């Protein structure tokens, strides 16, 4: 049978067919749907959301050492978080096969950078595979696990947004039950002391030689001979783009196993073609190694290293060809940037915070990063998961040390706080910091599309579990109970008072805003705690003085003509605009 | 010359484009085509511009459509059709829902919604305009707007070999099958 699957769905199917019994991840675009699609195989695979990517890889490593075929998945920047265990597990090697799926985001559709994680395979000295469509995404999982076990190496399974989120037809296979490998205590292999590490490093170098032999032999790296005037070495989705542009007019060395590279095969291919092009997205990862081997080729001289590739870019760069297009006058079209949803619980808090003067707001990764956009502009920085609190602490200390009169507020979401914010809060308490921490608890992991987390009370596979109590956790870290303000972010007066109190304090303070994401399907616990809103808001045109203050909340349901207008299909009755209006011109209807 | 056809569905998050593209791609697969589809998730979805790209033919390589390559643009919102017009093949078709969703800069008063969108579209391309939202509302459920659009698309592309009734039955809940079949039919009638 054939199914129409995204790359992520195909990887999940591949994990099932390959006898994977353990999978862990932290959600992150474009990787999130891999674990979401593994979760339903509950009878065959244990799957969990871990609090962060380092933990996800470590639990997968534990399962692999225990003997289970294991998978960890994360977005590209997540691998930075997980790099520590990765580099050591690269030395020890595996028991049950282990693959680390790295989902890169060329073009930064939903990321803060576009790092090329193929270098992680080279850097940590482990094998790497790169599928070029959904069928390969499924098939390569099994192959990668076999490589992992045969060569005693973790395997980096590198995909990109276009592989993850494009659909193609996939032929299914049967599940192979591989069970669990026997575990036996092996101190020299699994205890990475310096003495053992020195021995292991030698083995790693020997392993790389064997892997290069494999790379030259495997069908994952295949040559498609056509006209030999033009030869193209390519991998991942760039292969599909190259085929689109050159069709049968070029020969291809299509690489599916990209570390170590098949240098012998590359040389043979290069010898037989007149001009050799390397077509790869982002960095000149293949090109550098080909050139280092003394083989002439053309790559990044023509193909951009910034942004996502597509067939047009390749056709223009190499052939100088451009399709005619219809010119429409771009000035006519107004941008449509992403915004916080109508009724988003973050809006009320950011609206009040944006009014405070002389405040630096350190932000974090999540929907609330949109607080940086017009008209709220309520953010100064966004670095990485958890950095709101720690960068805020550092900034506050620097301001104080140099006598600069400025207060710092760090703003972070619930899932991000569990991810790595809690250690940063420890830093504030431990080092007697004075920056304000705000935890925007919307009871779910929002931006990636509603994944459970340690605060929601449910696991990935739908089981009820303990919900971590954020106020208690802050107290346990050492924030005084009287310095923890738990508020409803839709109550603007409460927001204002909590912010003022926190800004005045001379010791660590935490504001926790509690309200579920407006798009979340409420759990029974949510309904019990927060109820169900039935009203929507409406403008009384008589009372409206056209001051536009309601539009300053940035709610997409509010438009302005000569008076404010609230779109009744979009409004969910959060009442933030109602409180913001100085003329009581907005009322509740539908009660 | 490649036989691959390209369809670009554009609009705003929340307009039902994902289901529309699912119906479309399943229909094409059932008719025996190789199909690839590409969509974007995450940050871009929060009230942002949304596109789904569908390519079909004997053998499809790239999952994405280039500039000047799309045979048709099906736009669920007026201004989005204009935004993506440079992806239309010279001589290609535009099917556009006469429906306005102001974006953030317009809502806060920093920009104005362009007044002449439909005129530009009609001048630049073979454009069909109709009010899919109103048609859907008349049928009794504004959410069927996306299926009205699929009906119009099927007619515009001449996708007669697909059993659309079967595809709709397979993808919507039983109680919504009838209204969606009507929505599809209404969409067909717009061209």
**CB contact A339 to B (< 8 Å):** yes
3-state secondary structure of A87: helix
Mutate: best of A32, A114, A167, partner B, most B CBs <10 A: A167
Q: What is the CATH number of the domain that holds A474?
A: 3.40.50.970
Where among A301, A319, A337 does a domain terminate?
A319
Partner residue facing B46 (CB), from A169, A310, A370: A370
Tally of structural domains, chain A: 4
Mutate: best of B18, B40, B46, partner A, most A CBs <10 A: B46
How many angstroms away from the CA of B12 is the closest CA of chain A? 9
Q: Is residue A334 part of a domain?
A: no
Q: Is residue A352 part of a domain?
A: yes
Paired with A103 in beta bridges are: A75, A159
Query: Binding residue per annotation — A544?
Result: yes
Dihedral (CA of A108, A113, A119, A124) sign: negative
Residue range of the domain that includes B156: 5-188
Q: Is residue A228 part of a domain?
A: yes
**Is there a single domain that holds both residue A452 and residue A551?**
no
Helix, strand, coil percentages (3-state) for chain A, rounded to 5, are 40, 20, 40
Kindly state the tokens that stand for A265. Answer: 């095969």
3-state secondary structure of A128: strand
**Is there a single domain that holds both residue A225 and residue A237?**
yes
Whether the CB-CB separation of A263 and A233 falls below 8 Å is answered with no
Partner residue facing B40 (CB), from A109, A324, A558: A109
A316: which DSSP letter?
Answer: I
Q: Do A4 and B90 touch (CB under 8 A)?
A: no
**Is there a single domain that holds both residue A306 and residue A437?**
no
**Is there a single domain that holds both residue A213 and residue A241?**
no
Q: Do A4 and B29 touch (CB under 8 A)?
A: yes
Q: Do A341 and B47 touch (CB under 8 A)?
A: yes
**Is there a single domain that holds both residue A393 and residue A457?**
yes
Amino acid B39: pLDDT: 87
**Is there a single domain that holds both residue A198 and residue A253?**
no
Query: How many of the other CB atoms lie within 10 Å of CB of B91?
Result: 10
3-state secondary structure of A275: strand
Q: Residue A392 contacts by C-beta under 8 Å, 6 or more apart in sequence? A: A360, A362, A408, A409, A410, A435, A436, A437
Residue range of the domain that includes A254: 221-319
Considering only alpha carbons, which residue of chain B is nearest residue A565? B107
Q: Which residues of chain B have pLDDT under 50?
A: 1
Amino acid A585: pLDDT: 98
Considering only alpha carbons, which residue of chain B is nearest residue A375? B108
**CB contact A532 to B (< 8 Å):** no
Q: Do B47 and A375 touch (CB under 8 A)?
A: no
Amino acid A528: pLDDT: 94
How many angstroms away from the CA of B164 is the closest CA of chain A? 17
**Is there a single domain that holds both residue A504 and residue A429?**
yes
Q: How far apart are CA B106 and CA A304, in angstroms?
A: 34
Amino acid B45: pLDDT: 57
pTM of the full predicted structure?
0.97
**Is there a single domain that holds both residue A162 and residue A193?**
yes
Q: Do A243 and B61 touch (CB under 8 A)?
A: yes
Partner residue facing B104 (CB), from A169, A556, A560: A556
Amino acid B41: pLDDT: 62
**CB contact A168 to B (< 8 Å):** yes
Question: Please, is A173 exposed, middle or buried when counting C-beta atoms within 10 Å of its C-beta (0-12, 13-18, 19+)?
Answer: middle
ipTM for the complex?
0.94
**Is there a single domain that holds both residue A51 and residue A145?**
yes
Q: Residue B21 contacts by C-beta under 8 Å, 6 or more apart in sequence? A: B9, B37, B39, B52, B54
What letters, b where the CB count within 10 A reaches 16 and e where it falls short, cover A468-483? bebbebbeebebeeeb
Phi, psi of A459 (to 5 degrees): -95, 170
DSSP-assigned states of every residue in A214-267: HHHH-TTEEEE-S-SSEEEEEEHHHHHHHHHHHGGGSEEEEESEEES--HHHHH
**Is there a single domain that holds both residue A253 and residue A282?**
yes
3-state secondary structure of A586: strand
Amino acid A1: pLDDT: 76
Q: What is the CATH number of the domain that holds A290?
A: 3.40.50.920
Whether the CB-CB separation of A143 and A220 falls below 8 Å is answered with yes
Q: How far apart are CA B28 and CA B185, in angstroms?
A: 18
Paired with B60 in beta bridges are: none
What letters, b where the CB count within 10 A reaches 16 and e where it falls short, cover A320-349? eeeeebbebeeeebbebbbbbbbbbbbbbb
Amino acid B44: pLDDT: 52
Pick from A290, A423, A559: nearest CA to B100: A559
Amino acid A330: pLDDT: 66
Q: Residue A83 contacts by C-beta under 8 Å, 6 or more apart in sequence? A: A120, A124
Q: What is the CATH number of the domain that holds A542?
A: 3.30.70.20
Where among A319, A336, A369 does a domain terminate?
A319
Q: How far apart are CA A25 and CA A35, in angstroms?
A: 7
Q: Residue A364 contacts by C-beta under 8 Å, 6 or more apart in sequence? A: A382, A385, A386, A387, A388, A389, A410, A411, A412, A413, A416, A421
How does strand A221-224 pair with strand A251-255? antiparallel
Q: What is the CATH number of the domain that holds B119?
A: 3.40.920.10
Q: How far apart are CA A183 and CA A96, in angstroms?
A: 9
**CB contact A327 to B (< 8 Å):** yes
Query: How many of the other CB atoms lie within 10 Å of CB of A61?
Result: 25
**CB contact A240 to B (< 8 Å):** yes
How many angstroms away from the CA of B71 is the closest CA of chain A? 12
**CB contact A405 to B (< 8 Å):** no
Q: Do B49 and A333 touch (CB under 8 A)?
A: no
**Is there a single domain that holds both residue A180 and residue A268?**
no
Considering only alpha carbons, which residue of chain A is nearest residue B25? A4
Q: Which residues of chain A have pLDDT under 50?
A: none
**Is there a single domain that holds both residue A511 and residue A545?**
no
Whether the CB-CB separation of B154 and B7 falls below 8 Å is answered with no
Tally of structural domains, chain B: 1
Exposure of B116 in the CB half-sphere (CA atoms within 13 A): 8
**CB contact A558 to B (< 8 Å):** yes
Amino acid A337: pLDDT: 86
Kindly state the tokens that stand for A209. Answer: 């030689």
């Amino acid at each position: 049978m054939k199914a129409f699957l995204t790359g992520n769905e195909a990887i999940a199917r591949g994990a099932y067919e390959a006898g994977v019994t353990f999978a862990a991840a932290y959600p992150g675009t474009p990787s999130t749907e891999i674990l979401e699609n593994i979760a339903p195989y509950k009878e065959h695979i244990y799957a969990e959301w871990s609090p962060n990517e380092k933990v996800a890889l470590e639990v997968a490593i534990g399962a692999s050492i225990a003997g289970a075929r294991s998978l960890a998945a994360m977005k590209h920047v997540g691998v930075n978080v997980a790099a520590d265990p990765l580099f050591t597990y690269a030395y020890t090697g595996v028991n049950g096969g282990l693959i680390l799926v790295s989902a890169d985001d060329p073009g930064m559709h939903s990321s803060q950078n576009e790092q090329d994680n193929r270098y992680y395979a080279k850097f940590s000295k482990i094998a790497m595979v790169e599928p070029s469509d959904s069928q390969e995404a499924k098939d390569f999982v099994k192959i990668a696990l076999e490589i992992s076990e045969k060569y005693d190496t973790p395997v980096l399974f590198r995909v990109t947004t276009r592989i993850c989120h494009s659909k193609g037809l996939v032929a299914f296979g049967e599940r192979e039950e591989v069970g669990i490998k026997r575990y036996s205590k092996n101190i020299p292999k699994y205890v990475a002391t310096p003495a053992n590490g020195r021995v292991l490093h030698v083995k790693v170098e020997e392993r790389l030689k064997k892997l290069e032999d494999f790379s030259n032999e495997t069908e994952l790296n295949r040559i498609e001979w056509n006209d030999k005037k033009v030869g193209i070495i390519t991998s991942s989705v760039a292969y599909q783009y190259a085929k689109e542009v050159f069709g049968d007019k070029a020969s291809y060395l299509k690489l599916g196993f990209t570390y170590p590279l098949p240098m012998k095969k590359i040389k043979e291919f290069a010898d037989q073609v007149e001009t050799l092009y390397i077509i790869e997205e982002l960095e000149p990862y293949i090109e550098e190694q080909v050139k280092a081997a003394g083989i002439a080729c053309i790559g990044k001289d023509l193909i951009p290293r910034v942004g996502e590739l597509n067939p047009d870019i390749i056709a223009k760069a190499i052939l100088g060809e451009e399709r005619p297009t219809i010119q429409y006058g771009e000035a006519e079209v107004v941008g449509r940037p992403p915004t916080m949803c109508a009724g988003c619980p973050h809006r009320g808090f950011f609206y009040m915070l944006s009014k405070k003067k002389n405040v630096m707001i350190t932000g974090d990764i999540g929907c609330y990063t949109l607080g940086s956009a017009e008209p709220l502009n309520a953010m100064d920085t966004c670095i990485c998961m958890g950095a709101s609190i720690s960068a805020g602490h550092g900034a506050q200390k620097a301001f104080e040390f140099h006598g600069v009169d400025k207060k710092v507020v760090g703003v972070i979401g619930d899932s991000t706080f569990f991810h790595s914010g809690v250690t940063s809060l420890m830093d504030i308490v431990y080092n007697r910091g004075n920056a304000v921490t705000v935890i925007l608890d919307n009871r779910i992991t929002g931006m990636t599309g509603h994944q459970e987390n340690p605060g929601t009370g449910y696991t990935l596979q739908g089981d009820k579990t303990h919900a971590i109590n954020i106020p208690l956790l802050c107290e346990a870290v050492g924030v005084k109970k009287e310095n923890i303000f738990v508020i409803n972010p839709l109550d603007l007066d409460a927001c204002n008072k909590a912010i003022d109190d926190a800004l005045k304090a001379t010791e660590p303070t935490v504001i926790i805003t509690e309200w579920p994401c407006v798009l979340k399907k409420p759990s029974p616990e949510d309904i019990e705690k927060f109820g169900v809103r039935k009203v929507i808001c409406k403008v009384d045109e008589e009372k409206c003085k056209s001051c536009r203050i309601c539009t300053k909340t940035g709610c997409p349901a509010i438009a302005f003509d000569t008076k404010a207008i609230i779109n009744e299909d979009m409004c969910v009755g959060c009442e933030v605009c109602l409180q913001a209006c100085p003329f009581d011109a907005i009322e509740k209807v539908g009660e | 010359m490649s036989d691959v056809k390209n369809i670009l569905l554009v609009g705003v998050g929340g307009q039902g484009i994902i289901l529309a593209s699912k119906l479309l791609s399943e229909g094409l697969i059932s008719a025996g085509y190789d199909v690839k589809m590409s969509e974007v998730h995450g940050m871009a979805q929060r009230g942002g511009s949304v596109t789904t790209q569908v390519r079909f033919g004997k053998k499809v390589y790239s999952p994405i459509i280039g500039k000047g390559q799309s045979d048709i643009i099906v736009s669920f919102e007026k201004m989005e059709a204009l935004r993506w017009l440079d992806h239309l093949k010279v001589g290609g078709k535009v099917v556009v829902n006469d429906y306005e969703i102001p974006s953030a800069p317009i809502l806060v008063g920093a920009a104005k919604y362009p007044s002449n969108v439909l005129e530009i579209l009609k001048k630049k391309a073979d454009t069909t305009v109709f009010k899919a939202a109103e048609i859907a509302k008349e049928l009794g459920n504004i959410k069927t707007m996306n299926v009205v659009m699929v009906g119009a698309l099927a007619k515009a592309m001449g996708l007669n070999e697909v059993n659309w009734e079967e595809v709709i039955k397979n993808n919507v809940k039983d109680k919504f099958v009838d209204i969606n079949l009507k929505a599809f039919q209404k969409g067909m009638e717009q061209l």
